[in-house]
A = this chain, B = another copy of it.
């Protein structure tokens, strides 16, 4: 599916999980091979793999790997083992809901097949993890097709962080929308926020855009406002880590600022995310748990200190953008327009009925 770009974010291979180590990009394209589910958990925690949909796929594959590692031949005991494994995986990172979404799906599969033998159950889980990967790529292509019409010939699109093939099973959400517009033949440009502290924009988004041949310019996060004021940005598209029932969106730190600035400059601000990113159990964004990471990710860049020894730094990994700032959420079921609370409620009702 990712034939153009020539890399896999993550794949299942000979009962192992193989993932592109995104900490080393763009300098090196190195793959990590995990034969223990705890290695996948560590890869998620240390950001070797990141991006909500990719974390979902990784969690599913970690669970399948954990299932293979279970020594028991007794189904009830296997289910308990599997639940414990899923709990460890669920604790890897708190904000992206795709992680628990994937684990719930894997656990539901076990619950629905307790009449099967252990080996069959394990095989079902391995197949399901691969299904989740395959479906994620297909869903990205669907939402990209649904959203690309929002980008016009000649537009310059701002994106924050990385919501590309690397953040998903493949193809990408926000970057998928941009890619689909480009593949339709529209001459567009991308402005990539570098996205401190982890620099996913500088390291990953530019790397993907280079592979795709889409014209792009890297900027420091603090330059976006100035370019908006100069009329150089026509729309902004970002991904999401979790979306509450009312349409409030948790995404990479800095997203909320982009959304406020976009509104001030009358630039539409879109979110692109699969339905697995929605958490209808939360009525609004402030209920979303926001991960606070080690301050050294701010005071050091790739191990190099950039602040005085002992300097206190705050490192919130995500922020919440209220739905009122969002022009639309691009999903595999189409673009959900404002008013988001009502239209998401309708979507939810439809999903439950179908």
Contacts and interface: CB of A to CB of B under 8 A. Distances in A.
A246 interface: no
A256 B221 contact: no
B260 A299 contact: no
Interface string A241-274: 0000000000001101100110010000000000
Copy tally for this chain in the complex stands at 2
Contacts of A202: 298-299, 306-307, 311
A148 B122 CA distance: 67
A223 B316 contact: yes
A313 B226 contact: no
Contact of A197 (B220, B304, B319): B220
A298 B203 CA distance: 12
Interface stretch (A50-58, A105-113, A211-219, A329-337): A211-219
Given A218-B298, A299-B202, A306-B203, A210 B311 contact: yes
A220 B254 contact: yes
Nearest to A210: B308
A314 interface: yes
A136 interface: no
Contacts of A199: 306
A254 B222 contact: yes
B253 A223 contact: yes
Interface in A198-214: 199, 202-203, 206-207, 210
Interface of A: 26-27, 160, 193-197, 199, 202-203, 206-207, 210, 216-227, 229, 253-254, 256-257, 260-261, 264, 295, 298-299, 301-302, 304-316, 319-320
